[in-house]
Chain A
Amino acid sequence: MKKDTIKLLLIFTPALFGSFPALANVSGSDWKPQIVEKMFVLPPQHLNKVLNNDFKTSVLASNLRVTDNKIKSKIDKINELNSFLPNASKDEILEINHQIILNKRDYIKDMNNLIIMKRQKLETKKAFFEKIKNNIKYTNKNTTNHSVFLNNKSKALERAQRLDLKIIEKTSLNINEKSKYFKQYETNKNAIEKLKIAIKNHPMNEKSVLSNNSDNKLEAISNYIYNIETEIAVLEMKEQMMSYMAKIVALDAMKLAENVSGINQNLDGSFIPGENYNDPENVIDIFTKL
């Protein structure tokens, strides 16, 4: 008996956890940035561009486009139906109002989905930048720990580079003593110097110099995160707006239902019977008219 319970637990527990991701992904769309870790070294502006391009190819982006088009068509339909209202008969008005309410309901549904997807996009972007921010912070922390050593090493490198020309001059007579590495070092050093000058004179260099500095990069990424947070806050306000819209549509539907059933409601909540032809009292005029 005990063994059976354990077996059942073993079967159901993973199934229970397995159902959570399915619940979380209600909108049926997802975006996981396919950006390799090496890209993290890119300046923030370029990183943002790469991230946006990655998003464009995702399922979430295509779903966003589809929903966006759906919303546009719903608004066109509502406008079209509204334009029919002035020339419509009483029965037609009822039907048009019914259609308008249905379209408004669909619009709210789609808009709600759109907001959820936009939020998902922003949350993913934010998580991505947060990850980079943590990476930079971690690297900076490690760099501080070795800062004395790195300082000594960079000083050594500077001193050695200053001596390169002098070494070439002084060793020009020892041709036989020069190793393969020595010759390769000279050639590569010249090539590196040429490349360094080309980078220095490149018009895009100034921009990347600003963003390649780890402090500047951290600040730029913090700014991106701040902007994303403001966008999320705006979306939250839109969600509130949508809830009010839904309330209005619900009230419109109630009004339409009352009109159809022939019952009107006063402002104080008391009901006024409308034109109800199911009651013989209301049709006396029809019968008494000569």
Chain B
Amino acid sequence: MYKSIAKLTLLISFVASSYANASPIGPLERERAKTLNLILDKTISIVERKKKLEKSKMKLLDLERMTINNKQINKNPDNHTIRAFEDFDLTFLVHNSFEKNKPLSIMWFEKMGLTTDAIMNAQVSRR
């Protein structure tokens, strides 16, 4: 009896968690995270990074277009999706970089407040 209840609970939690993870912007978020990882990766050369970034950028562009044109998410958007559309510049990095005519990495650094001026003005201090 207890075994079957435990199995049922496990099954329900599995189904519930799979629904919770199925955000329509999930693939875009994952690809964006990969691209940002690539930007911050110190282990690869500049040429290699540029090459990989170009490929990743095109993939990210496809995913951005798919998300923007997805009419299904209009019906019942989850919090992730609502927040994603509140900040176009940060969510749709490739579109933003085309719009501002700046490289994708620069766009992201700027959005995070990591500009040259900001870094130069920063003071070294101990907390």
What is A's interface to B at a CB cutoff of 8 Å? 146, 148-150, 152-153, 155-157, 159-160, 163, 166-167, 170-171, 174, 177-179, 181-182, 185
Q: Which residue of B lies closest to A155 (CB)?
A: B88
Does B54 contact A163, Cβ atoms closer than 8 Å? Answer: no
Does A182 contact B61, Cβ atoms closer than 8 Å? Answer: yes
Q: Which of B94-117 contact A (CB under 8 A)?
A: 95, 98-99
Instruction: State which of B3-11, B36-44, B63-71 sits at the interface with chain A.
Output: B63-71
Taking residues whose C-beta sits less than 8 angstroms from the other chain, chain B's interface range is 20 to 34
Q: Taking the complex as formed, is B49 at the interface, i.e. its CB lies under 8 A from any CB of chain A?
A: no
Does B58 contact A159, Cβ atoms closer than 8 Å? Answer: no
Given contacts A149-B77, A149-B82, A160-B65, contact A182 B58 (CB under 8 A): yes
Q: Please give, as numbers and ranges, the residues of chain A lying within 8 Å of B81 by CB-CB distance.
A: 149
Does A178 contact B58, Cβ atoms closer than 8 Å? Answer: yes
Task: Beyond A146-B77, A182-B61, list 12 extra A-B contacts (CB 8 Å).
Answer: A146-B74, A148-B82, A149-B82, A152-B88, A153-B73, A156-B68, A156-B92, A157-B69, A160-B92, A160-B95, A166-B98, A179-B58
A146 to B85 CA separation, bound complex (whole angstroms): 12
Q: Taking the complex as formed, is B34 at the interface, i.e. its CB lies under 8 A from any CB of chain A?
A: no
Task: Give, as a whole number of angstroms, the nearest-CB distance from A256 to chain B.
Answer: 72
Q: Which residue of B lies closest to A142 (CB)?
A: B75
A177 to B95 CA separation, bound complex (whole angstroms): 17
Given contacts A163-B98, A170-B98, A174-B58, contact A152 B68 (CB under 8 A): no
Does B99 contact A153, Cβ atoms closer than 8 Å? Answer: no
Q: Among the listed B59, B68, B92, which residue makes an inter-chain contact with A179, where contact means beta carbons less than 8 Å apart? A: B59
